[in-house]
Amino acid sequence: MSKPVILQVGPYPDWDQDPLDSAFDMKRYFEADDPAGFLAEHGPDVRAIATRGELGADAAMIAACPQLELISVYGVGYDAVDIAACKARGIPVTNTPDVLTGDVADLGVAMMLCLSRGMISAERWVRDGSWARQGLHPLQRRVFGRKAGILGLGRIGFEVGKRLAGFDMDIAYTDIAAKDYAPDWTYCADPLDLAQHSDFLFVTLAASAETRHAVNRTLIEAVGPEGMIINISRASNIDEEALIAALQSGALGSAALDVFEGEPALDPRFLELDSVLLQPHHASGTIETRKAMGKLVRDNLAAHFAGQPLLTQVP
Ligand code: 8YV
């Protein structure tokens, strides 16, 4: 029996690629010299798309696959998939929730600590001999006991909060309603109140068209010249132009960012700022989590082609 044809939008590690290649006929879109020609040639045979969170599948790709039955996303975010196009054709979409939550929260908290305590510049201070020549590294800002805000108390936001509680932080959050699983944290219905409360504002919103630029100039300026914004969600949740302007003028103290508009290219103005910590969209990037994400992608594909229920279908 011939294997189901899968359109593979981006590369995966060998530990995922090998089992995918054994079970399916993987068509590697990302290796094509002529992506449109590749889609025209293979699209008519494609029964599923395997993609990654940040790559998704746009309307043109979906339209090029008239026999498409499933999109399986390697990532919790599915904002880059054209969900309206999927809905119109009744194509289910799966993602990889839960398995990456702890790692994403870890990286967000690590970014806060690293930037607040100046660990990158302190490392340079040791390596370039400044310590020996000039003495003590400039003093930095404390983390423990200060005020943290979590914009979006979903799975990842909640794990961030649990970690911050270990630093005795005064934690507030916003979401569509107060959460009974967070009784010790302050609920702010208005994101502006949250931003005003926060020395450290974590952006943990599931991105969608509705959350685009949810962190706008007013919110950024409310976090203020002493405050820090940490983004471990999607770049689209923040107005990046307003963010850069606030960092340049000092209206915002600092920003720790794992995601960027147009990544992996990023606005070169970020590179000129000392008040930012820049990370290459790797919050879920541990061997343990990536193996679990890959398995979930494969398990969803396997379940579909075996006529079994999908494991993690997005609502
Ligand atoms: C990426 C992510 O999928 O979970 C998400 O939504 O953006 C990430 O985990 C990851 O970078 C792999 O491409």
282-293 tens-digit pLDDT: 999 999 999 999
Q: Are residues 211 and 163 in the same domain?
A: yes
150-157 average pLDDT score: 98
Q: Are residues 241 and 149 in the same domain?
A: yes
Q: How much distance in Å is there from the Cα of 142 to the middle of ligand 1?
A: 30
**Cβ of 284 below 6 Å from ligand 1:** yes
Pick the atom of ligand 1 nearest to 53's CA.
3
Q: Over pLDDT 70: what percentage of the chain?
A: 100
Q: Are residues 122 and 256 in the same domain?
A: yes
Residue of 284, 293, 297 to test ligand 1 pocket, by largest number of atoms within 8 Å of CB: 284
**For residue 147, is it within any domain?**
yes
Q: Are residues 127 and 239 in the same domain?
A: yes
Q: Are residues 155 and 266 in the same domain?
A: yes
Q: How much distance in Å is there from the Cα of 52 to the middle of ligand 1?
A: 6
**For residue 189, is it within any domain?**
yes
Residues 116 and 313: their CA atoms lie apart, in Å, by: 38
**Cβ of 104 below 6 Å from ligand 1:** no
Residue of 8, 9, 54 to test ligand 1 pocket, by largest number of atoms within 8 Å of CB: 54
**For residue 314, is it within any domain?**
no
Residues 250 and 108: their CA atoms lie apart, in Å, by: 22
**Cβ of 47 below 6 Å from ligand 1:** no
Q: Are residues 86 and 111 in the same domain?
A: no
Tens-digit pLDDT profile for residues 79-127? 999 999 999 999 999 999 999 999 999 999 999 999 999 999 999 999 9
**For residue 310, is it within any domain?**
no
**For residue 41, is it within any domain?**
yes
Residues 149 and 193: their CA atoms lie apart, in Å, by: 10
Q: Are residues 65 and 148 in the same domain?
A: no
Q: Are residues 128 and 229 in the same domain?
A: yes
**Cβ of 77 below 6 Å from ligand 1:** yes
pLDDT band at 2; cut points 50, 70, 90? very high
> Residue of the nearest CA to atom 12 in ligand 1?
52
Q: How much distance in Å is there from the Cα of 189 to the middle of ligand 1?
A: 29
Q: How much distance in Å is there from the Cα of 168 to the middle of ligand 1?
A: 30
User: Structural domain tally of the chain?
Assistant: 2
pTM here is 0.96
**For residue 311, is it within any domain?**
no
Q: Are residues 108 and 241 in the same domain?
A: yes
Query: Three-state DSSP class for 197?
Result: helix
**Cβ of 53 below 6 Å from ligand 1:** yes
Q: Are residues 105 and 227 in the same domain?
A: yes
pLDDT band at 1; cut points 50, 70, 90? confident
Q: What is the DSSP code (8-state) at residue 215?
A: B
Beta strands in 59-137 (DSSP E): 70-74, 93-94
- Beta-carbon contacts of residue 80 (< 8 Å; ≥ 6 apart): 51, 53, 54, 55, 56, 57, 58
Q: Are residues 260 and 245 in the same domain?
A: yes
Domain residues for the domain of 228 are 101-278
**Cβ of 100 below 6 Å from ligand 1:** yes
Tens-digit pLDDT profile for residues 227-260? 999 999 999 999 999 999 999 999 999 999 999 9
**Cβ of 76 below 6 Å from ligand 1:** yes
Q: Is the pLDDT of residue 6 over 90?
A: yes
> Residue of the nearest CA to atom 4 in ligand 1?
75
pLDDT band at 306; cut points 50, 70, 90? very high
Q: Which residues are catalytic?
A: 234, 263, 281
Q: How much distance in Å is there from the Cα of 232 to the middle of ligand 1?
A: 10
For residue 155, give the CATH number of its domain. Answer: 3.40.50.720
> For residue 100, which of 254, 289, 299 has the smallest C-alpha distance?
289
- How many Cβ atoms from other residues are within 10 Å of residue 34's Cβ? 9
Tokens of 175: 């979401």
**For residue 154, is it within any domain?**
yes
Query: Three-state DSSP class for 116?
Result: helix
Q: In this structure, are residues 65 and 46 in contact, taking their beta carbons and an 8 Å threshold?
A: yes
DSSP character string of 21-65:
HHHSEEEEGGG-SSHHHHHHHHGGG--EEEEETTT-B-HHHHHT-
**For residue 139, is it within any domain?**
yes
Q: How much distance in Å is there from the Cα of 277 to the middle of ligand 1?
A: 19
Q: Are residues 23 and 71 in the same domain?
A: yes
